[in-house]
Amino acid sequence: MALTYAKAFFDLQLEFAQTVAARSGVPYARAVLEYTNLYVRFGLGRDFDPAHPTWQAYVDGLSRAEDPGDWTARLYATRPQAIAPPALVATFGCFSYGRLRGQFVDRRGALRENAARELLALEAPAEEFSAFYGM
């Protein structure tokens, strides 16, 4: 049975990407690609290719959506659900990482609701935020 996420799951990730964009100067579409797990949730693999046709259609719709979370949830509902995660190497708090191809490491955070909300509420200067995330 496929896992169905609540709209709030997508809203939280988009809110986080918006905060990253605002504090770092990274374009919003890039922050959504690089600081959320939406690309993987849409079943697009782990290449994080901004030119992927499905990703391009998503970003185009996202830029025009009145409710970005709703747009994201509706697109997710149309995507195949057979997505195999990489083998986990280690977990630390709400974060984990796994090996991708070769020596590459996927260091995405597992979005624990309270942890993500705490990060969004930080009033740290942009340079501290950038240093924490290795930007």
Which tens digits make up the pLDDT trace of 79-120?
A: 886 555 556 677 766 666 666 655 444 445 444 444 455 555
2 in any annotated domain:
no
**36 CB burial (10 A radius; 0-12, 13-18, 19+):** buried
Instruction: Confirm if 18 and 31 have CB atoms less than 8 A apart.
Output: yes
Q: 0.85 cut: is pTM over it?
A: no
Tokens of 135: 């930007």
Report if residue 108 sits inside a domain: no
**Residue 124 DSSP SS3:** coil
In a domain, 74, yes or no: yes
Supply the pLDDT for residue 85. 57
Domains in the chain, number: 1
Residue 40 pLDDT grade (very low, low, confident, very high; cuts 50, 70, 90): confident
Q: Which domain holds residue 36?
A: 7-84+125-133
Q: Is residue 38 part of a domain?
A: yes
